[in-house]
């Protein structure tokens, strides 16, 4: 019997407990629909990043389940994995590595090309478009010339280039300069209007308040989910 998938649900978290042996977050329940933006806030060590890694399928849940587009995250095939974007909080990047901005974005497109989901003739236009959107004019710029804020913009651009249905970002504005932070939230607003969904883990509660419509607060005592006007 064919299982019907509710296409109005992008991500479903059911009775989820996460942690390493001992639960950090227990019995968590929420869902994400197209156009949603969920903010996740709370103190360091309460389990925010562990939750993100569990949602992405990088570590197994202690109990409960996470489904993305109707499938358990641990069972996602490559076609659906491409639709789930991620901007990590800390990425070890060797700035001396001899690659250009174009190379970094291109590497994010390799799986899409292999799966026949993208024509090679459109790659350069796609790369130029996403780099321009995030403030880069020259795709041949060496990685070593980037500042911390520019590197953060590049990592976000790398996630966006595949046009994921849901993008999870862990402290995405931590290294952005104030001027581009405003632009970043404007880009998210534009993407939300197209039906794209986001999860933002952040200590910048005031900043993400501009864009989120739900807020999950995680503390050492438990969790609370509220709608955010």
Q: How confident is the model at residue 127 (pLDDT cuts 50, 70, 90)?
A: very high
Is residue 34 in a domain?
yes
Instruction: Please check whether residue 12 is in contact with residue 31, taking contact to mean a CB–CB distance below 8 angstroms.
Output: yes
Is residue 75 in a domain?
yes
DSSP for residue 100 = B
User: Which alpha helices (DSSP H) does 27-147 contain, by range?
Assistant: 48-55, 78-81, 101-114, 123-133
Q: How confident is the model at residue 69 (pLDDT cuts 50, 70, 90)?
A: very high
Q: What is the mean pLDDT of residues 96-101?
A: 86
Helix (H) or strand (E) holding 206: helix 205-208
Quote the domain boundaries for residue 120: 11-227
Is residue 163 in a domain?
yes
Q: How confident is the model at residue 4 (pLDDT cuts 50, 70, 90)?
A: very low
What is the rounded average pLDDT for all residues in the chain?
91
Q: How confident is the model at residue 177 (pLDDT cuts 50, 70, 90)?
A: confident
**pLDDT in the model for residue 1:** 35
Q: What is the pLDDT of residues 189-227, one digit of tens each?
A: 999 999 999 999 999 889 899 999 999 999 999 999 999
pTM of the full structure: 0.91
Is residue 5 in a domain?
no
Is residue 4 in a domain?
no
Is residue 1 in a domain?
no
Is residue 6 in a domain?
no
Predicted confidence (pLDDT) at residue 102 exceeds the cutoff of 50? yes
Task: Count the domains in the chain.
Answer: 1
Q: How confident is the model at residue 3 (pLDDT cuts 50, 70, 90)?
A: very low
- For residue 182, the domain's CATH number is 3.40.50.300
**pLDDT in the model for residue 98:** 84
Is residue 3 in a domain?
no
Q: HEC string of 132-200?
A: HHCCCCCCCCEHHHCCHHHHHHHHHHHHHCCCCCEEEEECCCCCCCHHHHHHHHHHHHHHHHCCCEEEE
Neighbouring-strand partners of residue 13: 30, 66
């Amino acid at each position: 019997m064919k299982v019907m998938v509710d296409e109005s649900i992008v991500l479903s978290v059911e009775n989820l407990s996460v942690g390493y042996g001992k639960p950090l977050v227990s019995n968590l329940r929420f869902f994400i629909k197209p156009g949603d933006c969920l903010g996740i806030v709370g103190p360091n060590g309460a389990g925010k990043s562990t939750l993100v890694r569990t949602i992405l399928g990088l570590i197994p849940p202690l109990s409960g389940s996470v489904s993305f587009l109707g499938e358990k995250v641990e069972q996602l095939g490559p076609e659906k994995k491409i639709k789930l974007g991620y901007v990590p909080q800390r990425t070890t990047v060797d700035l001396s590595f001899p690659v250009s901005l174009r190379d970094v974005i291109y590497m994010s497109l390799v799986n899409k090309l292999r799966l026949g989901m993208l024509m090679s003739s459109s790659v350069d236009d796609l790369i130029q478009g996403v780099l321009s959107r995030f403030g880069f004019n020259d795709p041949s710029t060496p990685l070593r010339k980037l500042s911390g804020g520019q590197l953060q913009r590049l990592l976000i651009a790398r996630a966006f280039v595949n046009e994921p249905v849901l993008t999870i970002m862990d402290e995405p504005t931590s290294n952005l300069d104030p001027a581009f932070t405003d632009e970043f939230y404007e880009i998210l607003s534009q993407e939300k209007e197209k039906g794209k969904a986001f999860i933002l883990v952040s200590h910048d509660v005031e900043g993400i308040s501009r864009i989120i419509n739900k807020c999950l607060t995680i503390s050492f005592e438990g969790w609370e989910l509220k709608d955010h006007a």
